[in-house]
A and B are shown apart, each in its own frame.
Chain A
Amino acid sequence: MPLDLDTLVTDDGLISREIFSSAEVYARERETVFAKSWLFVGHVSQIPNPGDFFLSTTGEDSVILSRDTKGKVHVFLNSCRHRGMRVCRFDEGNTRRFLCPYHGWTYASDGTLLGVPEFTNGYQGVLDKSQWGLIEPPHLFDFHGMIWVNWDPQAQPFLESLGDMAFFLEDFLRMPDGGIGEWEVIGGVMKWPIPANWKWGAENFAGDFYHGISHASVDQIAISPSGELGRHQSDAVKRPMKLINASIAKGGHSARGRLFEDDYPYTSEYGKYAEVDRYFADAYEKRQQRLGPLARLHGAGGTVFPNMSYSNGRYSIAVWNPRGADRTEAWRWYLVPKDAPEAVKDVMRHYAIRYQGPSGMTEQDDLENWNYAHEACHGNVARKLDFNYQLGRETDDSLLAGWNLPHTTVAAGFTEHNQRGFYRHWQSMLSGGQG
């Protein structure tokens, strides 16, 4: 029996397992979700100089993030216009041109087709090279150094699509002292496979404060730079607060954080490293002065729909790249403030990589759970059973009242409010709705 693709997500918080495992759903979401959404490609600090490039991916397509020799940032489909071969086979580097190794078509760093072998004899000189340059997405947006693209010519502008999420993403991109500054990506982007659908990572980062048991083992050992138990540096702060789950209906984005009740003085979160703790203590005070009451919200993370997730405490960006219904290739970028002292960068880097990724002591347990939860979407009996997303159905928009977030609804504590919002938007896009 064919699936009814328009009823996979109910208003009652029941969601079909088929959204994870069905090849039919995946084929449809490639066209309706990934081909129409803003996708994160990379960060400007990865291509600081003219001619620099970084190989990235949008959905299943290989793309090149390139700074041309005049300094302009481009994204290109990494596929020769003649027979499709990758014109860039290096993860990063610097080049004046991209040479296709198959038949030798050559493109400039701005995508222009420069050279075609046998142009005069073979094509009688009538090939219009201006029509055969590398393909660029119709929309590119630089959001505080993050490069996003959208392949849909009719796409909403980036900021419109981001909507209220701009507040949370900007908050993530603030320096520790609350100011606007320059981030740099630490050398090396983690890339690894997850034998599970891409939405497991996206929904987990969107709103899953509930999965504490997943991390029972890492919470028994001290991996936090605070030196105390608990995997987050912020676990050292014992002050009254509420867990905030913010779902942005317009755009389907999600953010999480801790909203403290008072403007408490800095509580050591990097206590193992005196110099680093002083940096964050100083930054904390400046942030309070700069942001006022908004400083009481300490972001935890979130997901920009569909597949970019960020972690505030680890200062990292993940993209859950789909590779079929049953496989994801996760990529993760780690950021540090460019102007931070080396000791600070060093501690941030070590903490992030022992926490996240396939060698990270926290994320390993997520990956195991996503792997085998996904497997359970395939059994012929199991696949017909819905998942329960009914946790925490009460909302309380007064928590962020006055914050100028008209399209945001908020639920406190343990809730699947954000996941429900994520899947409502996903379902509307799958049914042909706007991104």
Chain B
Amino acid sequence: MENVAFQHSLPALVHEVEQFYFLEADMFDEWRLREWLELLADDVRYFMPMTRNVAHNNRAAQFTRPQQDVAWFDDDKQILVARVEQILSGVHWAEEPLSRISHLVTNVRIHAAEGDTVEAGSRFLIYKNRMQSETDIYVGKRRDVLRRTADGLRIAKRTIWLDQNVLLAKNLTTLF
């Protein structure tokens, strides 16, 4: 396996990953969710833990654990497909009418690039407004494992840390 870092300079790789994230954000915000599903590897893991307030010597317990604890999301591709089909069903009242959403993605950094795999971190700020004045703001961090395929980058693993303890929104119908 060749090291991607040798094929691409770091700025080029950052640019490629950023452009990938911006495309993804457009897909979210324009409700092109079936297209977004195509950006996911078939074995994708999509995980958003819950966050606890813990003592400084108990920081390991700050987040619930994947495939073990309760989480806001701990999904495979099948469940993500179901979520998308529900949102686009026209009778999912929590998203009917659809909300107005803008995903901002920033602080993109490459943590590792080896073979066909890129590990990238980012921050997100998502603004959601629905009905008249219902507004939610989600801010947090993401860490992805991206896989390079003949069709372009694919998300093999995404971990999302939302900077909230008690959730501040009544619903999480937004994709992150």
- Contact residues of A with B, CB < 8 Å? 89-95, 186-195, 214, 216-218, 220-223, 329, 334, 346, 349-350, 353-354, 357-359, 361, 364-365, 367-369, 371-372
Contact = CB atoms under 8 A, between A and B. Distances in A.
Nearest to B64: A188
A359 B94 contact: no
Nearest to B49: A188
B167 A368 contact: no
A91 B64 contact: no
B92 A217 contact: yes
B170 A194 contact: yes
A42 B7 CA distance: 55
A93 B65 CA distance: 16
B159 to A, nearest CB: 15
B92 A349 contact: no
Main secondary structure of the interface of A (DSSP, over half): mixed
Nearest to B72: A359
Contact of B167 (A91, A192, A346, A372): A192
B172 A186 contact: no
Interface in B12-43: none
A216 B91 CA distance: 6
Interface string B70-83: 11111100010011
B166 interface: yes
Contact of B85 (A90, A186, A221, A359): A221
A187 B165 contact: no
A5 to B, nearest CB: 29
B3 interface: no
A93 B72 contact: no
B53 to A, nearest CB: 5
Contacts of A346: 67
A354 B167 contact: no
Contacts of A364: 92, 94, 171-173
A92 B91 contact: no
Residue among B58, B94, B167, B169 facing the most chain A CB atoms (10 A cut-off): B94
Main secondary structure of the interface of B (DSSP, over half): loop
Nearest to A91: B52
Interface of B: 48-50, 52-55, 58, 61, 64-65, 67-75, 79, 82-83, 85-86, 89, 91-94, 131, 134, 165-173
A90 B165 CA distance: 11
Contacts of B73: 359
Nearest to A193: B170
A92 B64 contact: no
A97 B7 CA distance: 57
A359 B169 CA distance: 10
Given A91-B52, A91-B54, 6 more contacts: A188-B69, A193-B167, A223-B82, A353-B71, A358-B171, A361-B83
Contacts of A220: 85-86, 89, 91
A95 B167 CA distance: 26
Nearest to A331: B166
A214 B96 CA distance: 12
A217 B98 CA distance: 14
B169 A358 contact: yes
B92 A334 contact: no
Nearest to A195: B170
A91 B55 CA distance: 9
B166 A329 contact: yes
A288 to B, nearest CB: 31
B71 A365 contact: no
Contacts of A354: 75, 79, 82
Contacts of A189: 70
B65 A187 contact: yes
A188 B89 contact: no
A192 B61 CA distance: 20
Nearest to A367: B170
